[in-house]
Amino acid sequence: MQSSRFDALIIGSGLAGLTLALNLAETRKVALITKRTLYDSSSAWAQGGIAAVLSIEDSLEAHVRDTLIAGADLCNEAMTRHIVGHGPQAIQWLIDRGVHFTRDNQNETGYHLTREGGHSVRRIIHSDDATGKVVQLTLTRQVAQHPNITVLERHIAIDLITSEKLPHARGNNRCYGAYVLDIYTGEVRTIAAQNTVLATGGAGKVYLYTTNPDVATGDGIAMGWRAGCRVANMEFVQFHPTCLYHPHAKSFLITEAVRGEGGVLRLPDGERFMPGHDERAELAPRDIVARAIDFEMKKRGLDCVFLDISHQPADFLVQHFPTIYKRCLELGIDITREPIPVVPAAHYTCGGIVTDQRGRTDLDNLYAVGETAYTGLHGANRLASNSLLECLVIGLSAVEDILTRALVSDLPLPDWDESRVTDADEEVVISHNWDELRRFMWNYVGIVRTNKRLQRAQHRIRLLSGEIDEYYSNFRVTSDLLELRNLVCASDLIVRSAMLRHESRGLHYSQDYPEALPRATDTILSR
């Protein structure tokens, strides 16, 4: 067993985690753990860009208004103003770090700004159609070279170490670090930290079809919940309307910006259908577009619909969407001449661990940032390209708070105890349970829900939870087991939250409760 001590432990290597690591490392000793490589995260997959008020044609009030409208009256307005208000400062931090955004000398900002669904003006700053990749590569290089940052790749957190696990510290409700599995060696490390940050992303992999990478298994949300943190609004899962439909295109997203630049959705016969669902047509918020596609597919028995931007000049498409153009062409689809087959897919977890404007959770010295957290910015539906903005602003706010905390003497932490477990005899149980979970979540807790479907899902989750708890208690932990355990926990939170919401609002649509209630309230779960 190995034991380590740091000033800050950051769990997750997306934009939120990298932002915290680089800023804290100026004066603190930082450990950053990631399940795969430093580069692997949902942030790296982000295509569209980052929403911020940068143009003279835009305003703080307009960005706030667009966010509140998309959030279906469930956004926290104070939090929204805080995050939107600090947007330009956060973008400037990225530019100062060397991130290259797409230029446009005819725009007074010097950068090309695009528009996405739900936005009233062009305010999305981007790096072509691979913003996340460019940002992630720029920051990971700096993190990897920083002398104050210890990067632990191929490590997965098991659980947080809290006062409950320390008899000599009970009563102060604090986090002291985490138990972490070294996937290479199978050893469990005890990592003590003055401050711990959950930045593990969302839980998209609870669904059969998702735009998320394989690492998005709800780890931070599940760990925070088990440690005693409140969780809010887990029923609001955003399904991106346009994921490429192709047997060899796993999880490939077609960015919102394609519709922002004039792309239209069509049926197989070429008929355009979005104007019949919403007056904003293809530029309606994601929940409306995803539900419209789901409706048309089920009504007509379709495998997919088609996103057509072939009417735009070929040079324009190749210049603005080089990643999409190249990937589609590899699969035999020329977007300059033909439409793109698309389907909705689970994309973003709007709920998460409850935090304040500084990323603080219910446990002292424990922070949650990014998709893992529920700040109140996204409400019942996330406005496109607000997610990376939240990672940056709350990440920088959390840094300010952490740096104000005095360093205190460390307590001795118990080592991980595996004296009463053995190696698993049939690991096929894990893969079977994983597949079953993702299929019934897609069928029963998807874009359109009913009470009966939710009850069926809850029954299966209870059975799976019992099997996994028994497995966890008797066998040595593996990364697959830990991810499945966290996925089941996240699924349970989604279903429980959905069953408590007796209305349709934003991303949560129930056939049993098709109308919105007069007053919007958060769904908050506590242990």
CA-to-CA dists, residue 490 to 202, 340, 353, 391, 412, angstroms:
9, 32, 11, 21, 31
What are 310's two structure tokens? 């072939």
Burial of 171: CB neighbours in 10 Å, binned 0-12, 13-18, 19+ = exposed
Q: Is the dihedral of CA 70, 59, 94, 392 positive or negative?
A: negative
Do 161 and 194 meet the contact criterion of CB atoms below 8 Å apart? Answer: no
SS3 annotation, 54-94: CCCCCCHHHHHHHHHHHCCCCCCHHHHHHHHHCHHHHHHHH
**145 three-state secondary structure:** helix
What are 289's two structure tokens? 């577009």
Q: Of 420, 432, 441, 416, which is closest to residue 480 (Cα–Cα)?
A: 432
Catalytic residue among 115, 189, 286, 453: 286
State yes or no: is 286 an active-site residue: yes
CA-to-CA dists, residue 493 to 61, 446, 497, angstroms:
34, 14, 6
Distance CA 29, CA 12 (A): 16
Burial 488-527, CB ≥16 within 10 A → b, else e: bbbbbbbbbbbbebebbbbbbbbeebeeeeeebebbebee
Phi, psi of 305 (to 5 degrees): -120, -175
What are 32's two structure tokens? 């950053």
Distance CA 383, CA 527 (A): 30
Q: What residues contact residue 152 under an 8 Å CB cut-off, 6+ apart?
A: 31, 32, 33, 34, 180, 182
Strand pairing of 373-374 and 352-354? parallel
Q: Which positions are catalytic?
A: 286
